Amino acid sequence: MAFCPKCGAQVEDGVKVCPTCGENLEAKVDVSAKVTELTNTADITDTLDPNDIQNNKVMAILAYLSWLVLIPLFAAKDSPFARFHVKQGLLLAICEIIVAVVFMIINAILGSILPALLIATSIIQWLINIVFFVLSIMGIINAAQGKAKELPIVGKIKILDNVIK
Ligand SMILES: [Zn+2]
């Protein structure tokens, strides 16, 4: 059961127009479906040892705090729970570095030919960095709650699977 965002009336799932006030619900339903789809990532919590999760939550949280990821990378090698989050945290850091380098190149080129566009690229870069920040918060929340759940967008990248076991 969903609620109309305009008048608050209860509407059946899948209904496209609110029967009470006539509000078009389709666009809003799509947004929430997209968010659900994006956050509905693989979760391997059930395959891990609850003791491992309980004992290594701090290590897992460190994985999302910039260079502090090095601590669990080297100090929690025997914890599959910490390893899971180290991989996610490193993926995020790699994506952040790639984006930073790409924007450095774009800005250098634009700076010499179209400096007026630098404002636009810095806004785009700022928005992408907000996404990275939100993803790292999500990772920290997952780690603190003892969940081994992939991050949206970057979590599916498998480049580290052969490097970190
Ligand atoms: Zn309504």
Over residues 18-28, the pLDDT tens digits come to: 889 988 887 76
Q: What gap in Å lies between CA 143 and CA 102, rounded to an integer?
A: 30
The owner of tokens 């209904």 is 15
How many angstroms separate the alpha carbon of residue 128 from the centre of ligand 1?
Answer: 34
- Please give the average per-residue pLDDT across 75-94, as a whole number: 95
> For 6-165, where are the E strands, in sequence order?
10-11
How many angstroms separate the alpha carbon of residue 24 from the centre of ligand 1?
Answer: 8
Q: How confident is the model at residue 98 (pLDDT cuts 50, 70, 90)?
A: very high
> What pLDDT is attached to residue 124?
95
Q: What gap in Å lies between CA 123 and CA 25, rounded to an integer?
A: 31
Q: How many residues does the chain have?
A: 165
How many angstroms separate the alpha carbon of residue 29 from the centre of ligand 1?
Answer: 13
How many angstroms separate the alpha carbon of residue 7 from the centre of ligand 1?
Answer: 4
Q: What gap in Å lies between CA 89 and CA 60, rounded to an integer?
A: 9
Helix axis angle for 118-144 and 80-113, nearest 10°, is: 170
**56-74: pLDDT as tens digits:** 999 999 999 999 999 999 9
> What pLDDT is attached to residue 76?
95
C-alpha distances in angstroms, 36 versus 50, 159, 160? 27, 25, 26
The answer, as to whether pTM is greater than 0.75, is yes
How many angstroms separate the alpha carbon of residue 146 from the centre of ligand 1?
Answer: 39
Q: Work out the burial of residue 45: count CB atoms within 10 Å of its CB; fewer than 13 is exposed, 13-18 middle, 19 or more buried.
A: middle
How many angstroms separate the alpha carbon of residue 10 from the centre of ligand 1?
Answer: 8
> What pLDDT is attached to residue 38?
85
How many angstroms separate the alpha carbon of residue 14 from the centre of ligand 1?
Answer: 14
Q: How confident is the model at residue 78 (pLDDT cuts 50, 70, 90)?
A: very high
How many angstroms separate the alpha carbon of residue 13 from the centre of ligand 1?
Answer: 13
Among candidate residues 91, 106, 105, the one with its CA nearest the CA of residue 139: 91
**103-156: pLDDT as tens digits:** 999 999 999 999 889 999 999 999 999 999 999 999 999 999 999 999 998 887
- Please give the average per-residue pLDDT across 37-42, as a whole number: 88
**8-18: pLDDT as tens digits:** 888 888 888 88
